[in-house]
Structure 1
Amino acid sequence: MTAPIIQIRDVSKTYDVGLPALAGLSLEVRAGEALAVLGPSGSGKSTLLNLVAGLDRPSEGGVTVDGVRLDGMTEAGLARYRRERVGMVFQFFNLLDDLTVEDNVLLPAQLAGLPRTQAWERARELLERLGIDRHARAHPGRLSGGERQRVAVARALMNRPPLLLADEPTGALDSASAADVRDLLAGLSRDGQSIVLVTHDTALARSCATRTIELVDGVIARDSEVPGAVPAGATGTVTGIGEARAAVR
């Protein structure tokens, strides 16, 4: 059995008003697993992702990711955790338009203090393997939505994080670009990259995830393996590339 990369124990999250966003939720995600989090708006999906990312803290319970207990960490510790252990992909890309594609991808390495030569080699490897090396000197505004999301994925993988988090990664894309991103994430999943993605895109969940959970009112209403998916840890490594190159060509 593959060891869990995420352990969530009896977590509740309550904001100032209304019902709790999460209500006593417990969840384990194994290393190499690709988990799709489904559910209606307001069900707690984004709250769960933010807790795993260290962007929010639980009102009760504990969150441990890759052996690191998050809920008691300082803000500086959480920032270091995000630099070293988590890559994040957002619905609206969050790229810096005044930087080139290459410089956007390099940014996490610069923040982490990676030597420049090593960082450039890693960035060029990612751009080539994700099929966007020809756009290295372009600015994001000149790229299609699907290409910009590939840049965002390359940036997220720059520091070789054990865990990739994706928040509605196809939500702002047209159908063709969404299909490209689904293929990309499916390739990463097949390569053994640990992934947690929040999505309303059932096609993305079917093609990328090895497991799905459905949240309703802050609790897990359904937890199921995806039929035909490769079990977590059964193949590949967690470096985050592998078959993704073929997926985006």
Structure 2
Amino acid sequence: MTHVIQLEGVAKRYDSAGAPALGPLDLGVAQGEALAVTGPSGSGKSTLLNLVAGLDRPTEGAVTVAGQRLEGLGEHALARFRRQHVGMVFQFFNLLDDLTVADNIQLPAQLTGTTRRRAAARAEELMELLRIQKHARAYPGRLSGGERQRVAVARALVNRPALLLADEPTGALDSASGQDVRELLADLHRGGQTLVLVTHDLALARACAGRTIHLVDGHLAVDTRAEAAR
């Protein structure tokens, strides 16, 4: 089994005298797997996502993503790694309001050195796939929340990442738009995309993920794959 994510003895402390915000934790996520991470506020969900994305460093243990050990990389190398291998989707979209939809999607590809022509072709492919091509020349502020989240997903996928991370992707959406995004993420998973999503939305977890882990006080309380194996 090929693992896209491998955490070995990973712990993160923000206060050297206090309990870890996360861990120690061992966790593997296989290629093509969709994992939902649930738990109450302060349980370590965002810390886990930040460690996997290379946005934070573990206090102890090893984090390997797409075959690369992250904890030893410098900031520039981590930024380059994220652009090439990790796509991220956020609760509040994080789109650039002064760029069109097409330009928002193309930007990460251009930052990796892809030519504008190839980036535009990839953006067009994704806009068609995600049914937002009619908004190509629009600005994000003129779109609905669900449409903006589709743009954010397209931007996250433009570099064909090994891993897609989603942090509360339906948290800022109304129920109809949230359902739309649930269906989109489920379709991506069925197409083979490796996905990790942090969510309080149990309907999203059930719809999009074949496996759920539940964190409590930084520790792994439930892993549905482990339970199924018993």
Shorter-chain TM-score: which interval?
over 0.9
User: Which residues of structure 1 form unaligned runs of 5+?
Assistant: 227-249
- Counting only pairs closer than 5 Å after superposition, residues 154-173 of structure 1 correspond to structure 2 as 154-173=154-173
> Which residue of the partner structure matches residue 237 of structure 1?
none
> Which residue of the partner structure matches residue 224 of structure 1?
224
1:125-147 Cα deviation digits (max 9, x unpaired):
00011000000000000000000
1:22-47 Cα deviation digits (max 9, x unpaired):
12111000000000000000000000
- Counting only pairs closer than 5 Å after superposition, residues 1-249 of structure 1 correspond to structure 2 as 2-16=1-15, 18-225=18-225
Identity %: 70
1:155-175 Cα deviation digits (max 9, x unpaired):
000000010000000000000
Structure 2 residue identity aligned to 1:187: D
Q: Output the CA distance in 2 between the equivalents of 1:36 and 1:225.
A: 11
Q: TM-score, length-normalised on structure 2?
A: 0.96
Structure 2 residue identity aligned to 1:8: L
* Matched length: 226
- The Cα RMSD (Å) is 1.3
- Matched residue SS, 1:173: coil
1:183-232 Cα deviation digits (max 9, x unpaired):
00000011110000000000000000011000011111000149xxxxxx
- Matched residue SS, 1:181: helix
> Which residue of the partner structure matches residue 245 of structure 1?
none
Structure 1 residue identity aligned to 2:219: V
1:43-101 Cα deviation digits (max 9, x unpaired):
00000000000000000001000100001110011001101000000000000001000
Q: Output the CA distance in 2 between the equivalents of 1:164 and 1:23.
A: 22
- Aligned-residue offset at 1:18: 4.3
- Aligned-residue offset at 1:116: 1.5
- Aligned-residue offset at 1:20: 1.4
Q: Output the CA distance in 2 between the equivalents of 1:67 and 1:187.
A: 25
Q: Output the CA distance in 2 between the equivalents of 1:181 and 1:147.
A: 9
User: Which residues of structure 2 form unaligned runs of 5+?
Assistant: none
- Matched residue SS, 1:185: helix
Q: Output the CA distance in 1 between the equivalents of 2:147 and 2:117.
A: 25
- Matched residue SS, 1:55: coil
Q: TM-score, length-normalised on structure 1?
A: 0.89
